[in-house]
Amino acid sequence: MASSEGVLLRRHGTRLSDTGLASRKAEEAATRRYEAAGWLRKMVGVVSAKDLPEAPSEEEFRLGLRNGMILCTVLNKIHPGAVPKVVVNPGDSIVQPDGAALSAYQYFENVRNFLVAIQEIGLPTFEASDLEQGGKSGRVVDCVLAMKSYGEWKQMGGNGSWKYGGNLKPLVSVKPFFRKNSEPFKNSLSRSQSMNDSDGLSAEHNLCGDVVSVESNEMATSRPLKMLVNAVLSDKRPEEVPLLIESMLSKLVEEFEQRLSCQNEMVKTALKSVPDGSKSFSKSKISTGAPLASCEKRMDAEDNFTKPKKEGCFRKPLRDEEASKEKVLKQCMIFERQQKDIEELKRTLRTAKAGMEFMQMKYSEEFSKLGKHVYGLAHAASGYHKVLEENRKLYNQVQDLKGSIRVYCRVRPFLPGQLNSSTVSSIDDGTITIINSSKYGKEGRRSFTFNKVFGPSATQDEVFLDTQPLIRSVLDGYNVCIFAYGQTGSGKTYTMSGPRILNEQTQGVNFRALGDLFKLAEQRRGLFSYEIAVQMIEIYNEQVRDLLVSDGLNRRLEIRNNSQKGLNVPDANLVPVASTSDVMELMSLGQKNRAVGATALNDRSSRSHSCLTVHVLGRDMATGNILRGCMHLVDLAGSERVDKSEVTGERLKEAQHINKSLSALGDVIASLAQKNSHVPYRNSKLTQLLQDSLGGQAKTLMFVHISPEIDAIGETISTLKFAERVSTVELGAARVNKESNEVRELKEQISCLKSALAMKEAGSEHLQNTIPTPEHSIRASSPVFSNPEHSIRASSPVFSNRRNGGDYLSGQANYRQPMEDVGNIEKCCEEKREP
Ligand SMILES: Nc1ncnc2c1ncn2[C@@H]1O[C@H](COP(=O)(O)OP(=O)(O)OP(=O)(O)O)[C@@H](O)[C@H]1O
């Protein structure tokens, strides 16, 4: 063996000094081995020691003792009964160099029992594997030499606890062995078995729970392992055992390492999940002890629950325990942290709840405020509607003040090819002066005053300007009548519709009025909803016909002034319209249906009155009030005299009807203007038809057309007379207003003169100088005197009666005269006041 060791040493190229040390050690080991072998041989005798040479090699020493018989026999000799039963195999005489002949049973029983006994005595032991190939025979030698010492100590009468004083290495890693068939072994085995059989979990738990010291823990752990080893090795051949054990051990080590790394991972995870801030908090809690203990308990419970049951309890190194404790600490910190978070959440919830309640209260307050505001707004809105209504009324009153019957005169320009010699002398705002030819009487000029006179150059836009405000009145529920009056060819159709070729500039009143009507209705959307519909009627020979028929049948219609729908001709087609173009389309249909007769004067001359009525129904969306208004656009038949038309028979009849109806219209308007109690509506179909729109709050606009040709002067004058008659009262009223202004001014003059007289009578010497004051100069140049209109007054009796009137103004008057003048002026004022 020494040589083999030497060979080994040489093979590795060990240094010489090392080689010497090794050989010395080898020699020493051999000496000890020989001593052990000699002592054993001596103890068992030559026969029993036949397998153990006197100076054996390591191998021979191991093989000689391998069956355990020598060892057990010697031990029983020095300590009788130490190994109660030594197994003797019948075939043990057959010695195999590799020990293959030895049964595993024999091998285990004797060696184990020996080792148990040695352990019980307190002698140094070895591992069973040390008797195998590659085992450490030095331990066996130590054990044998310890037995020798023990035997010698016993022989010398040693008693009680024996202390081995030999130079032995402590056998820390050696597992304790228990004697087979011995009581302690039996008890531990039966206990382990019963535990495992009954309940693996509780058995493990109890095993772990019973651990009080490391020693007892080791004992408890070794029992099931022993069983496992027994079970595994029982049917194995001896030569397989070392390999098996090696494999098992490596697996155990592997398993242990795996668990260790697993635990390390858990600890790392726990450390990561614990916030830094919580450490100090948790530590302070842990220092109190109680929370930590509870945590540890919880963790133990968790561990026991999650650990696989078959693993059993492993003895852990101290480091593992520390890691485990640290893990517990971390868990505890997490738990504390979670509790803190829960508290925080609860607090937040409480705050949120309070916030919600506050918001709810605020919202209810806001809602009640909003409700009051809405109520106020509704109130204001109703007020606004009242104001609107008031505004509507005021607006129409203004229109009334402007005149509910307004007459406008329009002079047609000369047509191409006509002689450019006009009967119109001058046009001054509302007054037109006509040159009256000698043919119809005394040569001279005649003036007519209307609301406005449009000369030949007036545009369609200018003509419409005064009509425009009345369109709003229609939407406000008032009725409006717009007439085009005049002799044939004077331009009625031009004013109402425009020329044949239309553009934006040449559009007539109809287009513009309807355009404004729809535009205003659109602007009022949201306040009012409007329904607009159109009727078109023709009055021909005092017969009423519907012009909006598609079959061309001219059925006679009746006029009923008391129709509930506000329709005077309820049987006529009433066509809803939504735009100006809708209306124009209907108008062109009506024009086609209109009875048109060719006359000597104008091939487009119409011998009938046509009336386009736009019915407006407005619903006040706030109050639900209904407003009904309508606008009549009437293109009257030519107003020329019958004899001029040179017609007889049917044409004469037509002309007579036209004249009669126009005359009736004049009568009605005149009656209205004069505010007569009786208005003769029923004298013609035309006035019957327009009854609701003539008088009352209705507005009437009449465009009177005249031709400028000299040969039409007769028609022109008769037209102007008709128009003057219609507008007389209105204009008369205007005149009265004018006169009252004059009276007021005259009164001012009187008071002035009176004060001048008073001063004179007071005997002022300087009167002569005081009369022509700047005040008088101003008065002399005041509108009353400077106005051309007042030039009439200058020649009036008031001033003409005055002697030295001019001197008076210049301050040269006789002082008696002013009193006369005052009397005259006062008299004049009284006269003017009368009408
Ligand atoms: N202000 C005007 N400017 C230019 N042309 C005009 C004007 N007024 C009328 N006319 C032209 O005079 C002609 C006759 O006009 P219009 O047809 O309108 O007369 P009327 O009175 O309607 O005739 P009737 O009674 O036959 O219908 C037309 O050619 C028209 O274009």
pLDDT along the chain (835 residues), means of 10: 39 50 86 92 82 88 88 90 78 44 64 88 86 84 90 79 50 43 38 37 34 39 58 69 75 78 75 51 40 43 44 60 88 91 92 90 90 84 72 69 81 84 86 74 77 92 90 89 91 90 89 92 88 91 87 77 74 90 86 59 62 92 87 88 64 84 90 85 91 84 90 86 74 57 73 74 52 40 36 34 33 38 49 44
Does the beta carbon of 639 sit less than 6 angstroms from any atom of ligand 1?
no
488 lines ligand 1 (CB under 6 A): yes
pLDDT at 228: 63
Q: What does the DSSP 8-state code read for residue 238? A: T
Atom of ligand 1 nearest to the CA of 603: 26
pLDDT of residue 272: 64
602 lines ligand 1 (CB under 6 A): yes
- Classify domain 403-735 by CATH number: 3.40.850.10
Q: Measuring CA to CA, which residue among 219, 116, 218, 124 is closest to residue 170?
A: 124
pLDDT for residue 413: 92
Angle, in degrees to the nearest 10, between helices 509-523 and 580-593: 150
Distance 633 CA to ligand 1 centre (A): 17
Any long-range contacts for 546-549 (C-beta under 8 Å, 24+ apart)? 546/571, 546/572, 546/573, 547/589, 547/590, 547/591, 547/593, 547/594, 547/610, 548/572, 548/573, 548/575, 548/586, 548/589, 548/590, 548/593, 549/573, 549/593
Question: Is any atom of ligand 1 closer than 6 Å to the C-beta of 460?
Answer: no
Q: Decide whether any atom of ligand 1 lies within 6 Å of the 56 Cβ.
A: no
Respond yes or no on whether ipTM tops 0.95: yes
Q: Are 198 and 190 in contact (CB under 8 A)?
A: no
Domain boundaries, the chain: 25-181, 251-369, 403-735, 763-833
494 Cα to the center of ligand 1, angstroms: 5
Amino acid at 108: F
Q: Give the integer Cα–Cα distance in Å for 640 and 716.
A: 9
CA nearest 79: which of 143, 157, 151?
A: 151
Longest alpha-carbon distance in the chain = 201
Q: Is 708 in the pocket of ligand 1 (CB under 6 A)?
A: no
Question: Taken in order 18, 24, 25, 26, is the CA torsion positive or negative?
Answer: positive
388, 699 Cβ separation under 8 angstroms = no
Enter the CATH code of domain 25-181. 1.10.418.10
For residue 433, how far is its CA from the centre of ligand 1 (angstroms)? 22
Determine if ligand 1 sits within 6 Å of the CB of residue 413.
Answer: yes
Binding positions for ATP are 486-493
499 CB within 6 A, ligand 1: yes
Q: Alpha-carbon distance 191 to 565, whole Å?
A: 117
Q: Which of 490, 492, 494 to mutate to test the pocket of ligand 1 (most atoms within 8 A of CB)?
A: 494
User: 403-735: same fold as 25-181?
Assistant: no
pLDDT at position 453: 93
In whole angstroms, what is the distance from residue 433 CA to residue 455 CA? 12
Of the candidates 235, 177, 208, 159, which has an alpha carbon nearest to the alpha carbon of residue 309? 208
Q: How far is the CA of 468 from the centre of ligand 1 (A)?
A: 22
